Structure 1
């Protein structure tokens, strides 16, 4: 019985301490478009996601990134940890469904770096 209570306590502690304990990893390049922080994934089709913090805002995320993020000509690669959030609406950037990532943290920010094949050959 004691072992069962110990395991249950560990599970409860891990769930309650961090809402993003099971955040997904999204790799890609970052850009600012229409005052929104955008991640273009390094995968087939290069899907785009609008990045938001836990309050639904992008200003704090942008403020913590290098200034080069505002220059569309300079590629900035990063790893974004977060969760996919659905929201009704249409993405004004592409007229497709709106894809949001609620960001836990952004790591591995590299200015003048890209993971996209078209940048390698273009």
Structure 2
């Protein structure tokens, strides 16, 4: 059964991993700050290796204004100019106003629920 599933999966997708993090724009290119210890930053690249400047469903203006935008990326790790990068196959689960970084959650004021003060 696993052989059949493996045979149906395109070879390009087999090398891809899922990266969850916060999107931003820097010098005209999209970046992902991963939600993990050390918060590594990856430049996002097209499948052809060119820097991604936009993606459907993303507002470049909001990213430039440092709005919190989280996303899940299916991509393959690579390097560009000696720095970490991701060749992007897909970006989904795009959420504006949400952060996946613990310190962002700790900085938010606690909202009192019904019956709490």
TM range (shorter): 0.7 to 0.9
Matches of 1:11 and 1:43, distance apart in 2: 30
Name the structure 2 match of 1:64: 56
Instruction: Tell me, in whole angstroms, the C-alpha distance in 2 between the residues paired with 1:107 and 1:38.
Output: 15
For residues 1-122 of structure 1, the aligned pairs below 5 Å read 13-14=7-8, 17-59=10-52, 62-67=54-59, 68-72=62-66, 74-89=67-82, 98-122=83-107
- How big is each residue's C-alpha offset from its partner over 1:15-46, in whole Å with a ceiling of 9 and x where there is no partner? 6x441234101000000011111100101111
**TM-score normalised by the chain length of structure 1:** 0.72
Question: Cα offset for 1:66?
Answer: 2.3
Q: Deviations over 1:88-110 (max 9, x none)?
A: 43xxxxxxxx0011111011000
Distance 2:94 2:12 in 1: 23
Change (3 A) 1:71 1:21: same
Structure 1: gaps (5+ residues):
1-6, 90-97
Gaps in structure 2 of 5+ consecutive residues? 108-117
Task: Tell me the matched-pair count.
Answer: 103
Contact 1:14–1:21 (CA<8 Å) still a contact in 2?
A: no
TM-score by length of 2: 0.75
Query: Residue 63 of structure 1: CA displacement?
Result: 3.6
